[in-house]
Structure 1
Amino acid sequence: MSLVIEQTEPVPLAADSRGIVRVAGTRVTLDTVAQAFERGATPEEIVQQYPALPLADVYSVLGYLLRHQIEVAAYLDRREAQRRAIREDNERQFASQGVRARLLARRAPHSTKS
């Protein structure tokens, strides 16, 4: 029996309708795998943290990350900018200033004094 070496095995990554890259067949994002790996997690530890991921897919994705560092870094930078913009928009729309005072004021008529 001889070993067959495939030269073009596809990387199990797919972009969803919003352009978010996920490990194919899962909800786990490329961002998540990249961050875990950057924090020092081994492929086996990543699979323990995200059981939906097959170990072979994690190795394949990590190989892709290592071979395409510039492209992946650019993608992760864009995703971080998107997250920051969404956070800032939410903070503008739902200002947290005065929330505690409003909640306490709402609660005050219902509280009973001992």
Structure 2
Amino acid sequence: MPVTMDFTAWSATLLGLYILFAGFGALRNITAWRKMIEEVERSPALQLVASLLELMVGALVYLANPWVPSDLLSCVLKGAGGLMMLEAFAICGFADIYTHFW
């Protein structure tokens, strides 16, 4: 019997857990987030690594979720993956301008 894996549900669950715990971290140590952003603004190497990582995660989310109009969650996640890839290109090419919006 073949085992099917619901990539949409797993993507949504893992992204939701990551956002939840990132929020906990931000509430526990408010200044740490500002320091991280300042470090990315100053370091071209961190900008490149951050954009590459976001591009890879965005591509995985985008490719793992099919476009099925009747499945709203898969459409939202596919859109989120596409936006993540666009943001990765913006960070890679225009980090000096883009990081000021954070």
Q: If the length of structure 2 is used for normalisation, what is the TM-score?
A: 0.33
Larger relative contact order (CA 8 Å, sep ≥ 6): 2
Which is strand-richer, 1 or 2? 1
The structure with more radius of gyration: 1
Scaled by the length of structure 1, what TM-score is found? 0.31
> Which one has the bigger helix percentage?
2
